[in-house]
């Protein structure tokens, strides 16, 4: 078996007195598409935010592509990673958020070229060419010069996806990317992800409440509750024959 691209080992995470993860271990293989489902407040966003290094941890280890995210081994001792190391690790991950998080004062194109130019040092011309190709991919070639506020929610989220892809991440993290959308706009966003999954090999870790989508796209589905994976398996098993009572109760509320 190859080395997993994401590995959490005995991770602990607390917010003040509240423990979110206590001895949490979890792996994702390269090119695997894993969906996380579960009630709100169970720690799903925190899991993705920890991977993005937007949140720290209180114990344990996290490896991404074989390298430690927060600590590095040096003279047989673990020491905190340097900022340079963190920047390098962050570049492997792209995240799309529920509320888009686009820069309102920048055009669509600038939203996409900003990070590749600033963080990766791409020339404006290279960044713009890449942005144009990505806008084509998400079906928004004609919106390059628009501002986020002139777009529908579905269009904004497709820009969010293009922006994440512009950094050429090995791993895509999607946090309820359709939850803030009107129902009729959900499919135009999910279609972009469907096509990506079909046409390119990507490792994807997604949190979603769209059960039909999780079922269709995932190699593995994890039902998450109170900071623990209660049950996981292939979509058919989780959705058609869940073993755990908590999974059944959760799914009954959706299906």
Which chain residues interact with ligand ADP by CB under 6 A?
15, 20, 40-46
Task: Considering the complex, state which of residue 38 and residue 116 has its C-beta at the smaller distance from ligand ADP.
Answer: 38
CB of 176 to Mg ion, least distance (A): 6
Task: Considering the complex, state which of residue 44 and residue 156 has its C-beta at the smaller distance from ligand ADP.
Answer: 44
Task: Considering the complex, state which of residue 42 and residue 130 has its C-beta at the smaller distance from ligand ADP.
Answer: 42
CB of 48 to ligand ADP, least distance (A): 8
- Mask: binding to Mg ion, 43-82, rule CB under 5 A, as x and -? -xx-------------------------------------
* Exposure class string for 37-64: b at 16+ Cβ within 10 A, else e: bbeeebbbbbbbbbbbbeeebeebbbbb
Question: Which pair of structure tokens corresponds to residue 93?
Answer: 């991950």
Number of residues that bind Mg ion (CB under 5 A): 2
- Beta bridge mates, 62: 8
Write out the DSSP string of 94-155.
Answer: EEE-TT----TTS-HHHHHHHHHHHTS---HHHHHHHHHHHHHHTT-GGGTTS-GGGS-HHH
CB under 5 to 8 A by kind: which of Mg ion, ligand ADP, none does 43 bind?
A: ligand ADP
Task: Considering the complex, state which of residue 134 and residue 238 has its C-beta at the smaller distance from ligand ADP.
Answer: 238
CB under 5 to 8 A by kind: which of ligand ADP, Mg ion, none does 208 bind?
A: none
CB of 149 to ligand ADP, least distance (A): 26
Pairing of β 33-37 and β 220-225: parallel
Q: How far apart are CA 217 and CA 36, in angstroms?
A: 12
Question: Which pair of structure tokens corresponds to residue 228?
Answer: 């623990």
Q: How far apart are CA 5 and CA 92, in angstroms?
A: 10
CB of 179 to Mg ion, least distance (A): 8
**Rule CB under 5 A: which residues touch Mg ion?**
44-45
């Amino acid at each position: 078996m190859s080395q997993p691209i994401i590995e959490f080992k005995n991770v602990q995470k607390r917010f003040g007195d509240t423990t979110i993860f206590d001895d949490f271990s979890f792996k994702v293989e390269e090119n695997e598409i894993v969906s996380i489902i579960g009630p709100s407040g169970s720690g799903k966003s925190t899991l993705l935010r920890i991977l993005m290094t937007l949140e720290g941890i209180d114990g344990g280890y996290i490896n991404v592509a074989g390298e430690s995210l927060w600590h590095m081994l040096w003279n047989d001792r673990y020491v905190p990673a340097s900022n340079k190391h963190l920047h390098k690790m962050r570049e492997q991950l792209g995240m799309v958020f529920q509320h888009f998080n686009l820069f309102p004062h920048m055009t669509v194109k600038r939203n996409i070229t900003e990070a590749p130019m600033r963080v990766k040092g791409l020339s404006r011309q290279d960044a713009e060419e890449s942005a144009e190709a990505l806008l084509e991919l998400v079906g928004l070639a004609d919106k390059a010069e628009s501002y986020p506020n002139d777009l529908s929610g579905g269009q904004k989220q497709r820009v969010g996806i293009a922006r994440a892809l512009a950094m050429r991440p090995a791993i895509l993290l999607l946090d309820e990317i359709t939850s803030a959308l009107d129902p009729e706009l959900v499919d135009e966003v999910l279609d972009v992800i469907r096509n990506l999954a079909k046409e390119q090999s990507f490792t994807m870790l997604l949190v979603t409440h769209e059960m039909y989508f999780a079922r269709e796209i995932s190699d593995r589905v994890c039902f998450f509750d109170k900071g623990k994976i209660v049950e996981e398996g292939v979509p058919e098993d989780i959705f058609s024959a869940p073993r755990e009572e908590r999974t059944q109760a959760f799914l009954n509320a959706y299906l």
